[in-house]
Amino acid sequence: MAKLLEGKKGLILGVANKRSIAWAIAQSAAREGAELAFTYQGERLKDNVEELVKTLSSDSLVFPCDVTDESQVDAAMQKIEKSWGGLDFVAHCVAYAKAEDLEGGYTKTKKDGFDTALGVSAYSLTLVAQKAQPLLEKRGGGSILTLTYLGGERVTPGYNVMGVAKAALETSVKYLAYDLGPKNIRVNAISAGPISTLAARGISGFTDLLKIAKEKAPLRRNTEAEEVGDTAAFLFSPLSRGITGEILFVDCGYHILGF
């Protein structure tokens, strides 16, 4: 039986460690037959990402890419074009806000913190889509995926400026889907329930979020990273060929609640 992503080539941005949602996405895509390229942000993460990638495949591409530096995004796409010629899908799993902007209330957010959160967490998707478009077109189109959270739609105390960034990201998904649709490039987001990643643990009150989600979600449990990974594999595959501009919730049903 053919695998969902047999013969497909994809780029995963944002792997930091084995608990990253980006890593769960990579594992699901690799299981379904995809050939993958990975980026890391800064030398601090290089060794860890390279060691992880070796457990998946010895043929994967690995190179640096800081999404706040357009020249590095260009360089990453050039390396992919040289090695593969084109791309079938991109997983944008990048977000960042200053620690001080995730403490206290949103009203104390300063302009530099706002600019940082919006630039890294939202604009970077637009930049990556711009640069990846020619490579996706070379393969007849493809799929771009990003990660969001319910805090972009509803107030989540402690999420603060990251919630504002996710709101911008979700609207970017829709505009990018409209612009890129004629090129047969689909753009979607997964809104995952709270998952205990290194980044998530930096959010004030995150332990309470996990507890509440487990108690209240219709499935009465927390979301697993592997569930997000499998949903991503579906969104990369031809099975989702009619889906674009969507925010797909993988949160054990928590988002349907009115309390």
Per-residue pLDDT at 196: 76
* Annotated catalytic residue 159: yes
pLDDT in tens, 237-255: 999 999 999 999 999 999 9
173 closest CA partner among 128, 141, 140, 112: 128
**Long-range contacts of the stretch 48-55 (C-beta < 8 A, 24+):** 48/16, 48/17, 49/15, 49/16, 52/15, 52/17, 52/18, 52/23, 53/15
Per-residue pLDDT at 162: 96
Place of tokens 């799993």: 93
Q: Which helix (H) or strand (E) holds 41?
A: none
- The structural domains of the chain, with segments of one domain joined by +, span 9-252
Annotated catalytic residue, options 40, 123, 149, 175: 149
Q: From CA 208, how far away is CA 41, in angstroms rounded?
A: 29
Per-residue pLDDT at 202: 64
List Cα–Cα distances, 175 to 129, 140, 189, 240, in angstroms: 11, 20, 12, 19
pLDDT in tens, 200-251: 666 767 788 889 999 999 999 999 999 999 999 999 999 999 999 999 999 9
Strand order in the sheet with 247-250: 61-64, 35-40, 9-13, 89-92, 142-148, 185-192, 247-250
Per-residue pLDDT at 191: 98
Q: What are 199's two structure tokens?
A: 């980044």
Low-confidence ranges of the chain (pLDDT < 50): none
Annotated catalytic residue, options 159, 175, 178, 254: 159
CATH number of 9-252: 3.40.50.720
Q: What are 27's two structure tokens?
A: 């594992």
pTM of this structure: 0.95
